[in-house]
A and B are shown apart, each in its own frame.
Chain A
Amino acid sequence: GQNIDQPTEMTATEGAIVQINCTYQTSGFNGLFWYQQHAGEAPTFLSYNVLDGLEEKGRFSSFLSRSKGYSYLLLKELQMKDSASYLCAVEGNTGFQKLVFGTGTRLLVSP
């Protein structure tokens, strides 16, 4: 089966750092995506991890541990515009990008 867990909601203040966790149990695994989604809009690509470790891209970093079925997205120097849902998605190993999405974590950044 496929199961992806992430917190439903998180709050943080402008300028702070926040870590959004994702745990997964899936029948196949090729990689893990993080997407940002503002209400009523399309998911926007943030990161893609295949190997264990930390990938840094500007204010956003993503970590993966394949053996633990665990990933996190780290957002630094939070801005108001970072208020959005953050979607964790697992890519299976069928050879095509059938992504299985979590329910998303709604992040609210306050002044």
Chain B
Amino acid sequence: EPEVTQTPSHQVTQMGQEVILRCVPISNHLYFYWYRQILGQKVEFLVSFYNNEISEKSEIFDDQFSVERPDGSNFTLKIRSTKLEDSAMYFCASSEKNTGELFFGEGSRLTVL
């Protein structure tokens, strides 16, 4: 069964460092998303991406965050200068259409020290 894959599974970084989280969405999917979940809290929407541009973003997704689809398969989330409060599990998700089933990856756990 096709799946969304994410790397790394866990990253530890120092405050102020740049981090890139990588995702390979399901191959025929056109809509890509990043969500995050701080430990013990709810899953929160960060950004949606379609047709090589951001279609919607939340208040969390400030200037420190960016997304990119550098080639036909990868979808990345960059945090330019990490803060302690960026520590969370980051989930990539993709879907074939702009509605219906949304497939999540296994997540990348980011720990900022």
Q: Which residues in A have some Cβ–Cβ distance to B below 8 Å?
A: 30-31, 33, 35, 40-45, 48, 87, 89, 91, 94-104
Contacts and interface: CB of A to CB of B under 8 A. Distances in A.
A42 B107 contact: yes
B64 to A, nearest CB: 20
Interface of B: 31, 33, 35, 41-45, 48, 50, 55-56, 58, 89, 91, 93, 95, 98-107
Given A42-B104, A42-B107, A44-B104, A97 B42 contact: no
Contacts of A30: 99
Contact of A98 (B41, B48, B91, B103): B48
Contacts, number: 59
20 contacts: A31-B99, A33-B102, A40-B89, A42-B106, A43-B43, A43-B91, A44-B104, A45-B102, A45-B103, A87-B42, A95-B55, A96-B50, A97-B93, A97-B95, A97-B98, A97-B102, A98-B56, A98-B58, A99-B102, A103-B42
B101 A45 contact: yes
Contacts of B103: 45
Nearest to B6: A42
A9 to B, nearest CB: 13
B97 to A, nearest CB: 9
A42 B91 contact: yes
Contacts of B95: 97
Query: What 9 A-B pairs have minimum CB-CB distances, sorted nearest first?
Result: A42-B104, A96-B48, A101-B43, A101-B42, A103-B42, A98-B45, A96-B55, A42-B106, A43-B104
